[in-house]
Amino acid sequence: MTIRKFFNIVKLVIGAIAVTITSLWIGKLAYTWLPPQAAAESVLIDDLFSFLVTLGAFIFLGVTCTLFYSLLFHRAAENDYSDGPHIEGNITLEVVWTAIPILLVFWIATYSYQIYEQMGIQGPTALVHLHNPMGMESAYAATEDGLAEPEEQIDVLAKQWAWVFHYPEKDVTSTELHLPSDRRVKLALHSEDVLHGFYIPAFRLKQDIIPNHNIDFEFTPIRKGKYHLTDSQYSGTYFATMQANVVVESPEEYHKWLAKIATHKPGTAYNQASAEYAQSITQQVKTGWKTVAPAPAPLVNYPG
């Protein structure tokens, strides 16, 4: 082995190590790009996202570093217009650069499916596996003693353009979603009219709500605080107003809140879509386009 070849191998190894370390750093940095991890499932999604960012950074840096190295150290001399050396095809190289992407795709697909199984949100399974139900067990649905936590059941009604949450435990409703922390929650999602999307960015969870179907949706909140629920699907003129607060609190505070609002008589909650629609129909000069009338403002025990 010549000295020049030895130094080329050393440079290649050093470059590969530098690219790998930089890619891992960028992958760890990706956790800071997202909202706080407010649900157990968000940890799994963020790990997957960090893995994909690391892999993408490694490929990007590897290609660009090789390109810049070639431009800096292997460019032709000034006024050299001669042809480069004739290089025949390399079967081994072609097999390698075909096999590596295939293996990467299988790696990503396997890892993604494992994350999906661990999440166990049971969203589309109610539709996809109607005749052959497929059970999924969440990695976060058990206590330290190995016993399953009792699920908190909440009914979610989506309509143009409002969210209504029903709590069977006290038979009360609200337009603000309250959840107990560190408890498995099971939502029964239902749409009254069109396709809606249940999306809480801090939970990294999204589920389409299909009319005429009840969809079970499970997750585990782990961080107390107030978060944001929005409709991720365009559902009509005022869909941007279809938002709600999500409050995660301790189980004790959650049950105190339920007991408190159970004493409230149902009242009409303020609905921005209804207010804007009422204002538009009273205008002398019509602007915009025609739209369906919003559903009546919901009657709830707690308007939020």
pLDDT for res 146: 43
Q: How many alpha carbons fall within 13 Å on the CB side of residue 193?
A: 16
For the residues 62-69, what does the mean pLDDT come to?
A: 90
pLDDT band at 162, cuts 50/70/90?
very high
Is pLDDT at 293 greater than 90 in this prediction? no
Whether the full predicted model's pTM is greater than 0.85, yes or no, is no
d(CA 152, CA 155): 10
Which percentage of the chain shows pLDDT scores above 70?
87
Which residue's entry shows tokens 């890619």? Answer: 23
Q: Are strands 225-231 and 299-300 parallel, antiparallel or unpaired?
A: unpaired
What's the CA gap between 300 and 259, in Å, rounded? 14
Residue-wise pLDDT for 204-236, tens only, equals: 988 899 898 888 888 999 999 999 999 999 988
Q: How many CB atoms within 10 Å of residue 171?
A: 10
Instruction: Kindly write down the DSSP assignment for every residue of 126-146, as one continuous string.
Output: HHHTSSS------TTSB-TTS
d(CA 282, CA 274): 13
pLDDT at 8: 76
pLDDT (mean) for 60-71:
90
CA-CA distance, 190 to 170, in Å (whole number)? 20
Residue 198 scores a pLDDT above 80: yes
Burial of 295 (0-12, 13-18, 19+ CB in 10 A): middle
My answer on whether omega of the bond before 163 falls inside 30° of 0, hence cis, is: no
User: Is the model's pLDDT at 76 over the cut of 60?
Assistant: yes
